[in-house]
Structure 1
Amino acid sequence: MSQEMTEVPLGAATHHMDQGGFPIKSMISTNAAAAGIGAGAEGNHHHHGTRPFFSRHRKTILAGSVILTLSAVAVLIAILVKKPWESNNSSLHNHGGFTSGDNVDLKSFPPRFTLSSSVSIPHGAQCNAHTPPLDQEFQYGQQPIRGVNVGGWLVLEPFITPSVFEPYIAQNVTDEYTLTKLLGKEKARSYLHRHYATWVTEDTFKRIKDLGLNHVRIPIGFWALGALDPDEPYVPDLSLDYLLLGLQWAAKYGIRVMVELHGAPGSQNGWNHSGRSGKIGWLDGTPNGERNGKRTIEYLTQLMKLLQGPGMEHVSPMFGILNEPAMFMMDVRLTDKWYKDSFAALRNVTGAGKGPWAVIHDGFLGLPKWEGFMPNSDRLALDVHDYLIFDNNLIRLSRQEQARFPCDVWASDMQRSSQKFGPTLVGEFSTATNDCAKYLNGIGVGYRWDGTYQTEQDRDAGKPFDEAACQPKINGHIEGYCSCLEQNRIGAYTPEYRQFLSDFTQTQMDAFEQGLGWFYWNFKTETNALWSYFDGVDHGWIPKDANSRPGGCAAIGRVLGSYEEGQNN
């Protein structure tokens, strides 16, 4: 969710740029008993009066014993080193092989996701008492979405899982494109399989349920559906199959899923979470950009067809059309038409009044731009990603001002959009009030907070660094305040700072429930607790039950005013 991006309007949302689990262990257990040829009482019996049988046939017996022993060892070795891909399992063969060093637990290997795939909905599956059972309709607009993103799983991001990228950063790996290109298809498949099998597991969904959440948003890349161009080195199919596994886990715990296309052919924003960082090659005004737009609709259509199987309508009632297209850098006429064409293609698959809600992203144009767009559409919702830290003005607000901002501004934004566009939700937000998370803005880009942020384009153009957002002239005397290293160190968090983190998180939840609700980014990270819902709960600034929150706007003395009230001020 990090950005090498131009400044967007004040308050506009931006996305960061860019292991619990199935144990990676051998399925083989060796429990062989020693054969003991000739052992026991009979082996010590001697025949008197004649030359012993063993003495007379010693060479023959020894030779036979050696042959038998070698044969037994050969059979045992063959059993022990039998490769996972040699198993008579059609789904394995469909995925291709792994390198000989991989000991893959076949139980963790996901089922194939095909047009005939289904999801079993357990009787009475219900994530919590505040949410209807999975086989009953969720009343969007009356019941709030309270969810988390399962990011960094089926679409890689360096800031979420630095360990996946760090072995290869010296070889100029910065995103999933460069990683898979460097590793090659077979090694990349094995590498990603290990990651998919460990970063998210059934226990992940169980904990999401236990925290009182009712939705998860699962990002996936276009490459999951295959049909790749020769210059697209991504691993096809495998992440799609893990998506099916995620849907099955969600169903078991009564959780609803928003499946969402996170990366489009050519990259819809040029940021690493689209799969490939650099230039935008999607609807960029070129013939290839136009082709990539059409390819994206084909991928969306295929993905929607996969979500039509039995049980899918219960577990996957929302569908994200495309994550964060950078419309502020595009011809909006092209993107508007693309949204309309995509929506029509999806409803052509589902039929009117059927299938999941379709969710479009605001493209960083601001919610007012979308007022009156596609009116009276069949279950269409608008998604905005609200972050303070990618806006040079908002990141500089005092902590008190930051905690109040959701109550004072974002709440009325949600109310206005809900009235003038229609159903509006927040697909991403976090507790972070600085951009210090490792690799958040991309690998080697730096940070706004400490004044080291500079895009490659600005560096090449010789532009100076911006002033540090921590405002060292005001706060530099506070030890560690302007240090990203200290800002990332949980041990340095004072009780007052932890209370602020709690206030800021819960005021956002209050504000976003003025619309359809929210999805926190992310469920966990490897290195930064301010982007991890699980860590926030463990460290006390996120409530253990999303449905029972002690903080929020009222707790800090702010009243959630209505949009109409705002118009009168």
Structure 2
Amino acid sequence: MYLVSYIFMSAILAAHAAAWLPGEHREIYSLEGINLFNKTKLFSNITSNSTKKWLPSSSNIRGVNLGCLFVFEPWLASDEWGSMGCGPYVSEFDCVSALGQSQANVIFQNHWDSWITQDDITQIQSFGLNTIRIPIGYWIMESLVYDSEYFPQGGFQYLQRLCGWASDVGLYIIIDLHGAPGAQVPTNPNTGQYAPSAGFYIDWQFDRATKFLSWLTNIIHTQYYFRNVGMIGVVNEPIQNPDAVPGLLSSFYPNAYTAIRNVESALGVASYNSLHVQPMNQLWGSGSPNQNMPSTYFMAYDDHRYVKWDPSVPVSHSAYITDACNNNRNRSVKVNILPFYNLTDSSDNNTPTIVGEFSLSVPDNVQWSPDWHPSNNQGFYSQWFAAQVSRYEADTDGWIFWTWKSQLGDYRWSYQDAIAAGVIPSDIGNINTGACNSF
């Protein structure tokens, strides 16, 4: 009995520390006391070019995004958007502006309360997934919002509850700044506003974002609900042109990193419990995120791969499978340096990289044609999914599907629906590991 109590208390204490990458440097226990990510031994100075002091275990990130929760994209859930009274409007900003703050708060709080429930989190964990990525907007820190900006209020308590649920079942959590102050891209509701131009790339907006990241870092390290948050995405999908994003590389990225580390230093957070700081990787096209970084300690990198919008891949089943099986999203070499351990040589690209968004959707002009229709091509989509995740797990530290649920009636954008359709196995451990054997 004493031993059982000791193990249980040890698990609780281990879970209370904050911030890790699955398999990198700390233990995390599920509700049942199972260690999900195999703590590895600490080695120092393994190689002269390594910034990792914890060697990765065999665990990859396998997860889903919780899209349309705190940053609503009307195209993904038009029925929900319409039922909220937001149907005529293109973004959260526009809907709140039109309905008024009080009414908007009520309808959005109802949405937050019902779009992702505790049952969803339990189901995600039951499918063998180990990670959720939560897109949020800066407006969840309400003191940062100007009187001239219109966003729903009260979201933080729902984020807190969500992270508590996920932590209770042992899911790893990435929180991503999806909607940046001023909008990091124009005319896109996934920033929370359908801004005519990208207003983010100016010093005073960068300062607002770093204040947000500092605030979030403090919460993650001091509130028990957030104990399984190990990574912050500092800005989602900036403009894919380094010349068009002045200050992103020279100012925002290094300042964001420093702001997060300064909060951790002030709190006395041990270096091995630091949050992973995650910009988009160099493959995204906004330039090298490490260009002006003061350090790359506990950095991680986000890669998004949507073949739907990649004109370089011929539109055929065989070409899509071939691309999935041969497109190295990390372009790094994993080398064994000790029995049962490996280290990634990051000299060729950013590591650790996580494919933080991908889907099974195909180009608009063919997506409902007989050769691509989801109702009669389940075999292809199943193989394509297996090929993608197999390659991501071989080349990167894992993957996160976009998204968990939608109202499109199209499993190509919904992990939950893809399982119901038999395209993705209900236990991800049963994925077809031979999907690329003939490619």
Q: TM-score, normalised by structure 2?
A: 0.78
Residue 139 and residue 547 in structure 1: after superposition, are their counterparts in 2 closer, same or farther (change >3 A)? farther
1:431 maps to a residue whose letter is L
Paired residues, number: 383
1:239-278 to structure 2, matched below 5 A, reads 239-270=155-186, 271-278=188-195
Q: Distance in 2 between matches of 1:317 and 1:240?
A: 18
Q: Distance in 1 between matches of 2:397 and 2:286?
A: 14
Give ranges in structure 1 of 5+ residues lacking alignment.
1-117, 435-448, 451-468, 471-479, 559-569
Identify the residue that residue 138 of structure 2 maps to in structure 1: 222
Matched, 1:187 2:103: yes
Matched, 1:382 2:311: no
Shift in Å at residue 280 of structure 1? Answer: 3.2
Residue 139 and residue 152 in structure 1: after superposition, are their counterparts in 2 closer, same or farther (change >3 A)? farther
RMSD: 3.2
Q: 1:280 aligns with which of 197, 214, 217?
A: 197
Shift in Å at residue 547 of structure 1? Answer: 2.1
Q: Distance in 1 between matches of 2:57 and 2:207?
A: 32
Identify the residue that residue 547 of structure 1 maps to in structure 2: 429
Matched, 1:165 2:84: no
Identify the residue that residue 230 of structure 2 maps to in structure 1: 317
1:113-512 to structure 2, matched below 5 A, reads 124-125=29-30, 131-132=36-37, 140=56, 142-166=58-82, 171=88, 173-227=89-143, 228-236=145-153, 238-270=154-186, 271-284=188-201, 289-309=202-222, 311=224, 314-328=227-241, 331-336=244-249, 337-351=251-265, 353=271, 354-362=273-281, 365-366=284-285, 369-370=288-289, 374=293, 377-394=296-313, 396-411=314-329, 413=331, 418-420=346-348, 421-434=350-363, 449-450=364-365, 481=369, 490=374, 493-494=375-376, 497-512=377-392
Task: Answer whether contact 2:280 2:289 (CA < 8 A) is retained.
Answer: no
Shift in Å at residue 278 of structure 1? Answer: 3.1
Task: Answer whether contact 1:388 1:433 (CA < 8 A) is retained.
Answer: yes
SS of alignment partner, residue 534 of structure 1: helix
Q: Distance in 1 between matches of 2:235 and 2:222?
A: 22
SS of alignment partner, residue 317 of structure 1: strand
Q: 1:534 aligns with which of 405, 412, 416?
A: 416
Q: Distance in 2 between matches of 1:419 and 1:546?
A: 31
Q: Distance in 2 between matches of 1:222 and 1:127?
A: 34
Shift in Å at residue 222 of structure 1? Answer: 0.5
2:302 maps to a residue whose letter is D
Q: Distance in 2 between matches of 1:348 and 1:397?
A: 48
Identify the residue that residue 114 of structure 1 maps to in structure 2: none
Q: TM-score, normalised by structure 1?
A: 0.61
Shift in Å at residue 347 of structure 1? Answer: 0.5
Residue 369 and residue 230 in structure 1: after superposition, are their counterparts in 2 closer, same or farther (change >3 A)? same
Residue 487 and residue 404 in structure 1: after superposition, are their counterparts in 2 closer, same or farther (change >3 A)? closer
Give ranges in structure 2 of 5+ residues lacking alignment.
1-14, 19-27, 43-53, 334-343
- Percent same amino acid at aligned positions? 24
Task: Answer whether contact 1:282 1:293 (CA < 8 A) is retained.
Answer: no
Q: Distance in 2 between matches of 1:363 and 1:180?
A: 35
Shift in Å at residue 557 of structure 1? Answer: 1.6
Which has more radius of gyration? 1
Shift in Å at residue 179 of structure 1? Answer: 1.0
Q: Distance in 2 between matches of 1:526 and 1:357?
A: 32
SS of alignment partner, residue 30 of structure 2: coil
| Structure (1/2) with the larger strand percentage | 2
SS of alignment partner, residue 218 of structure 1: strand
Q: Distance in 1 between matches of 2:60 and 2:33?
A: 13
Q: Distance in 2 between matches of 1:160 and 1:224?
A: 21
1:25-36 to structure 2, matched below 5 A, reads none
Task: Answer whether contact 2:303 2:357 (CA < 8 A) is retained.
Answer: yes
2:218 maps to a residue whose letter is K
Shift in Å at residue 212 of structure 1? Answer: 0.2
Shift in Å at residue 366 of structure 1? Answer: 3.6
Shift in Å at residue 335 of structure 1? Answer: 0.5
2:315 maps to a residue whose letter is L
